[in-house]
Chain A
């Protein structure tokens, strides 16, 4: 077994995408196993890999980690992306959790019934522009630093960058009222590990399409 972390998930974004972002930002190479059939998933359960019978699963440092947050906290802690003390960690956690609420809306979007899609899209736009982006715009404006917390690159920056791009895919001009976030986005895009992740051929997954939704339903439906 290689020393690289191994990710098991569908061949698509879902809950694993934030983990891919974080590992990539930390400069950590990883392997991936893609779930394509119900049988593969049932075998994983039978073989005792999935603590709560769920993916994401990340095999890392001898552990079979599940629970997205647990996995990301571990990676952030291990690769020094979690602040220098408890208070910085508290800020990072607050920011990441807030962004995660926004990402949850995006995650669920492909699975909304057709007649709810327009309403849900409107909700994503409303939350991003009225609840979440203003917070980070203000944070960056107030301290004038490049990064959200402690003048140092952290998990919070990676998560915000992922969220900005994900919302922009749905609402292309969403950053028009947020000059600080525009600058932030450019700065993050130019960080070597992130730049690499944003190039074609990286492990980054494309926006979920009908095939992805179909695969999710096929693999997990009872």
Chain B
């Protein structure tokens, strides 16, 4: 077994994308196994690899980790992206909690009906510009530092950049009222590990399309309608 972490998920963003971002930001190479058929999924289930019968699953350091947040916490701590003490960690957790809630509105987006998609797009923009982005704009303005927490690159910065780019995919000028975030975006994007991840050919996944939705539905037998928030 190689020592690289191995990610088990669909060939698409979903809940695994934040994990790909964090590993990439930490400069950690990883392998991926993509779920394409129901059989593959059932094999994983029968083999006992999925603690709660769900993916994401990441094989790392001899563990078969599940639960996105648990995996992210582990990677952040292992690669020193989780602050220097309990209080910095608390700030990072609060900030990541916010960007996670924001990205939660986007993750269900591809599964919505065309009509619900329009409403959801508006909701995403509204939440981003009135609830979430103002918080990070203020944090950066107040301390004037390059990074969100403790004057040091952390998981919170990676997660915020990921969220910004995802919202921009829905409205390209969404940062127009947020000068600090514009500068932040440029700064973090130019960090070598992140720059590399943003280039074509990296393991970053594209915006989910119908094929992705079809694959998820097929593998998980998730044929019910997903309702918007």
Contact = CB atoms under 8 A, between A and B. Distances in A.
Contacts of B77: 86, 89
A105 interface: no
A186 B90 CA distance: 33
Contacts of A65: 90, 94
Given A93-B69, A97-B70, A135-B51, A61 B78 contact: no
Contacts of B59: none
Contacts of A68: 97
A87 interface: yes
Contact of A90 (B63, B131, B132): B63
Interface of A is mostly: helix
Interface string B27-68: 000000000000000000000000111000000010101111
B52 A98 contact: yes
On chain B, which size bracket covers the interface?
A: 20 to 34
B98 A94 contact: no
Nearest to B74: A90
A61 B98 CA distance: 21
Interface in B129-150: 131-132, 135
Contacts of A63: 87, 90
A40 interface: no
A70 B96 CA distance: 9
Contacts of B74: 86, 89-90, 93
A70 B70 contact: no
Interface of B is mostly: helix
B214 interface: no
A51 B98 contact: yes
Query: Which of the listed residues B51, B52, B67, B69 has the most CB atoms from chain A within 10 Å of its own CB?
Result: B52
Contacts of A66: 94, 97
B178 to A, nearest CB: 16
Contact of A52 (B66, B96, B131): B131
Contacts of A89: 73-74, 77
Contacts of A97: 67-70
B61 A87 contact: yes
On chain A, which size bracket covers the interface?
A: 20 to 34
Query: Which of the listed residues A53, A61, A98 has the most CB atoms from chain B within 10 Å of its own CB?
Result: A98
B96 to A, nearest CB: 8
Nearest to A74: B90
Interface string A42-54: 0000000001110
Nearest to B101: A52
A86 B90 CA distance: 17
B159 interface: no
A101 interface: yes
B135 A52 contact: yes
Contact of B52 (A61, A86, A131): A131
Contacts of A73: 73, 89-90, 93
B93 A69 contact: yes
Contacts of B78: 86
A3 to B, nearest CB: 16
Nearest to A60: B90
A90 B60 CA distance: 11
B86 A135 contact: no
A172 interface: no
A30 interface: no
A132 interface: yes
A86 B89 CA distance: 14
A87 to B, nearest CB: 7
Contacts of B132: 52
Contacts of B89: 73-74, 77
Contact of A94 (B53, B61, B65, B96): B65
A97 B73 CA distance: 12
A87 B73 CA distance: 11
Interface string A77-88: 110000000110
Interface of A: 51-53, 61, 63, 65-70, 73-74, 77-78, 86-87, 89-90, 93-94, 96-98, 101, 131-132, 135
The 4 closest A-B pairs by CB, nearest first: A67-B97, A70-B93, A93-B70, A97-B67
8 contacts: A66-B94, A67-B98, A74-B93, A93-B74, A94-B51, A94-B70, A97-B67, A97-B70
